[in-house]
Amino acid sequence: MAQLSRERVLRGALAVADAGGIGSLTIRSLAQELGVKPMSVYHHVAGKEEILDGIVDLVFQEIELPSADGDWREEIRRRASSARLVLRRHPWALGLLESRTTPGPATLRHHDAVLGILRGAGFPVRMAAHAYALLDSYVYGFALQEASLPFDGPQNVTEIVEPMAQQAFAEGYPHLVEMATEHVLKPGYDFGDEFDFGLDLILDGLTRRR
């Protein structure tokens, strides 16, 4: 095992969080992952808070940056889709966003690039702020809903939703029952497919208001 370093500590923390959720990330579990003893970690980071800040920034680093000279709509769409995939890969990152208020360098670079595209596309500053807040709200919120779904993907939907629908029927929630039986339980259903509908609607609205 090579020398420890801040970089290796953060990478290790990311791996532990991905494997077992943020709840499983403890200084001890991280030390084990790294093949060292708990206190060794503290020579490379100041404390657990700094680790959390660090891995959030690592997550932002994974999101594709829009390129400054492409079609704005296509670039924004690409980065939104990328962000959604990244947040699905690291669902614990969403819960962290709420508590971290000191953005890292990758986070800043990311936001600067997105704003750059919008300004370059002709959005005035105020409108760029609107667009930026709207787009990120949508992406974060969608990722949050994906993360809180009781099922993982399109596979095991039936076995999870079927009993829920029965319960909803028994307790008198007709619209939930209808949604389950007429939509969610139909073959081919995948919540992830909802993403493009909303993104298109938002991009259309922004185009119209530009």
Contacts to a second copy by CB under 8 A: 21, 23, 91-92, 94-95, 97-102, 105, 108-109, 111-113, 115-116, 119, 125-126, 128-130, 133-134, 136-142, 144-145, 147-150, 168, 171, 173-176, 178-179, 182-184, 191, 194, 197-198, 201-202, 204-206, 209
156 binds, among DNA, a second copy, none (CB under 5 to 8 A by kind): none
For the chain, list the strands marked E by DSSP.
none
Residue 3 vs 183, nearer CB to a second copy: 183
Burial 51-69 (b: 16+ CB within 10 A, else e): bbbbbbbbbbebbbbbeee
Residue 35 vs 141, nearer CB to a second copy: 141
155 binds, among DNA, a second copy, none (CB under 5 to 8 A by kind): none
Residues 6+ apart with CB under 8 A from 90: 14, 17, 18, 59, 62
Q: Which residues bind DNA (CB under 7 A)?
A: 3-4, 25-29, 36-40, 42-44, 47-49
40 binds, among a second copy, DNA, none (CB under 5 to 8 A by kind): DNA
Angle at 98 between CA 161 and CA 192, to 5 degrees: 35
Residue 42 vs 99, nearer CB to DNA: 42
Is residue 195 classed exposed, middle or buried when 0-12, 13-18 and 19+ CB atoms within 10 A define those classes?
buried
Q: Return d(Cα 108, Cα 119) in angstroms, integer.
A: 16
Residue 35 vs 122, nearer CB to a second copy: 122
109 binds, among DNA, a second copy, none (CB under 5 to 8 A by kind): a second copy
Residue 4 vs 127, nearer CB to DNA: 4
**Token pair listed for 156:** 């095991």
Residue 203 beta carbon to a second copy: minimum distance, rounded to whole angstroms: 10
Residue 44 vs 169, nearer CB to a second copy: 169
Residue 56 beta carbon to DNA: minimum distance, rounded to whole angstroms: 16
Phi-psi region of 64 (alpha: psi -120 to 50; beta: other; left: phi over 0): beta
Contact by Cβ (8 Å): 203, 123: no
